[in-house]
Amino acid sequence: MIVYTLSLTFSLNLSYGVWPNKAAIGSAHIADVEYPASALGTPYPLNILAVHNRLIKEGFEKVKVSTNIGESQYDHASACQSALGVALAGADIVKTDLAELPFEAAVYLGKTLVRTIKKFFTKKKVIPAVFVDKEMQRFFKPFVEGIKLIIETEADGLLIDTYNKSIGQGLLDYCTIEEVALFAAECHEIKKRKHGSQVQ
């Protein structure tokens, strides 16, 4: 997977049984809380809270906690409640998964999710998640529409991941390293423009 955020980060996915202090000792900037049974692995809110509290207890307040709200969103209000719930549970970075949504629908829901979280938690980051598998690109093409999605939803970044984890294929089985490099460069341009507008 690749993640664009406003700063360069090293993230470590935490399955249950892996303590977050070990990730922090290993210089991780982000502790990603997941249950590894599905594409993104939605965890229970109390497990998010446990990771958040353990990091603080061990003196790693600067390590951010990230998590997700599940791959597919079937109801906008429920999706917003889920996003707000994981933010309240201690996630600093909320991945709002937009599987099986075409561009316009992804923008509509993405805007709603960003607005909801920022209303309650202005400093928390909201990052839409989209998928690069061939069957998922029938709905949304990450390397074609991803940058525009970031801009139109006013999100803090974008996660590009694989949806089907059971077939042994990763991100670079579906795209080239050149596509990844171009995507990263375009994301950096968004960052520069955003910071420039804040200075003005």
Bridge partners (DSSP) of residue 64 are 30
How many domains, in total, are found in the chain? 1
Bridge partners (DSSP) of residue 158 are 4
Report the CATH number at residue 168.
3.20.20.70
Identify the domain containing residue 58 by its residue range. 2-199
* Torsion sign, CA atoms 41, 119, 158, 143: positive
Digitized pLDDT (tens) for each residue of the chain, 200 residues in all = 445 443 333 344 444 445 566 666 667 788 888 876 655 678 899 999 999 998 998 898 899 999 999 877 889 999 999 999 999 999 999 999 998 999 999 999 999 999 999 999 999 999 999 999 999 999 999 999 999 999 999 999 999 988 888 888 888 999 999 999 999 999 888 877 776 655 43
- Other beta carbons within 10 Å of 40: 25
Q: Could you tell me which of 175, 98, 100 has the C-alpha nearest to residue 143? A: 175
**Rounded CA separation 96/155 (Å):** 10
pTM: 0.83
Q: Is 136 helix (H, G, I), strand (E, B) or coil?
A: helix
